[in-house]
Structure 1
């Protein structure tokens, strides 16, 4: 462990599996006290246990952000209680992954669910946490975007739209909160070796073969990007998108 984020408090939404776990572990390895959050209590407690066994600090707060404003406020209140009212880092990572489908076959219920989880939750949670950061004159917000939000992809309109919205919100929030000392940036992963994509690797193979790196990213590599943007080495980076995609968005 090093200490780039020593004594800072970080809330990571959707940190009970996949990329979220790696982000929580990476922040904790740099000294942050991480508030792990998600719907699955067993996985959340396992994430906390793994962090503590590695010498870090973490607290689990159960939250289903798809339930709407009341659940989001409960999470914000609980995180602030853990952090003593001084949350330093917010990572808006929770997201609904959506299977590719023609636009005409995407139902209204799925559209509403995707917007609630992928956009509304981040919007409301930021609105609850960022003003206190601004009042203290410091803080970091990192939104988890996607390379799908950077270019068009057939049969991915809904997911891509939610992530493009997150990228746009990053810029708007950088303009709104940056003058008060709050940095807002995006990490945009490409294909990443999580459990959720293990069953679709054949479908991703052509994309990966066209990437300069010729390989998918690991969750730990995405976590490292979050750590960089959360730390003082990124002290004058505002409104940026850091792609962790093996060069896919570039070429």
Structure 2
């Protein structure tokens, strides 16, 4: 996979898909910055990697804040000599809320975590990748980035935005050796939960469409695709939005 010795940032790496990706990168010989809001989760993943003979360091904080993003990037550069791979995986869900039910607080939080944070991190790492003449960014989009029936208004808009960010980065830097792709997970076993008002307009409108998602995937199945997209095995893939959803997007 040609990842040995690479410097990799994985966000949301304290649990779920991010944890699985961090562990898999470490198995491939990469050095990993484990970034997460949950300090205990991040520390546990760093310990898991160390126990298997790998190298990792944790950075804890809210990735929608510029100061935290700066610390994540600086840690990768100072600890591992640069940034070869960025995995923008951290995200939150909404309450399947319809537009007229969305509060300003829910909208602002979902957009900042799911879309603004990946932008801030990409902006932070690209100069380091340009200096090396190569790099890979992998964003976690969602089945909700491919359709309007998978989630609420804020989450759906944020993940459609991730697709636009992915494609823009792919085109902007294709001549500089930097590739940007995204996975679009379907239903996956993670610790992310949401408070859904079952009597709300959003859940009532969306539930009839959610019977098509098929089986629920394991985090390691998502991680395998993320690591592939970051590796030289995917050297000619750029701007791809790859569904990892057991065929949900084909329905």
Fold match, TM over 0.5? yes
1:138 to 2:149 alignment? no
Residue equivalent to 1:79: 76
Are the aligned partners of 2:20 and 2:219 in contact in 1 as well (CA < 8 Å)? yes
Residue equivalent to 2:243: 243
Are the aligned partners of 2:144 and 2:151 in contact in 1 as well (CA < 8 Å)? no
User: Structure 1 CA distance, aligned partners of 2:210 and 2:231?
Assistant: 30
* Segment drifting more, 12-21 vs 54-63: 54-63
Are the aligned partners of 1:191 and 1:208 in contact in 2 as well (CA < 8 Å)? no
Are the aligned partners of 2:94 and 2:194 in contact in 1 as well (CA < 8 Å)? no
Residue equivalent to 1:210: 212
Candidates 187, 191, 197, aligned match of 1:195: 191
Question: 1:120-171 CA deviation, whole Å, 9 max, x = no partner?
Answer: 1111111111122022111100011001011011761110100000011111
Residue equivalent to 2:153: 157
Residue equivalent to 2:58: 60
* Offset, 1:119: 1.1
TM-score by length of 2: 0.90
Question: 1:78-127 CA deviation, whole Å, 9 max, x = no partner?
Answer: 2221122x211000111122121222111001111112111111111111
User: Structure 2 CA distance, aligned partners of 1:183 and 1:88?
Assistant: 11
Question: Runs in 1 of length 4+ with deviation above 4 angstroms?
Answer: 197-200, 203-209
Gaps of 5+ in 2: 197-202
Are the aligned partners of 2:111 and 2:155 in contact in 1 as well (CA < 8 Å)? no
User: Structure 1 CA distance, aligned partners of 2:114 and 2:191?
Assistant: 19
Gaps of 5+ in 1: none
Candidates 23, 45, 48, aligned match of 1:47: 45
* Change beyond 3 A, Cα 1:250–1:61: same
* Change beyond 3 A, Cα 1:199–1:69: closer
Residue equivalent to 2:13: 15
Q: CA RMSD in A?
A: 2.2
User: 2:122 is paired with a residue of what secondary structure?
Assistant: helix
Are the aligned partners of 1:63 and 1:75 in contact in 2 as well (CA < 8 Å)? no
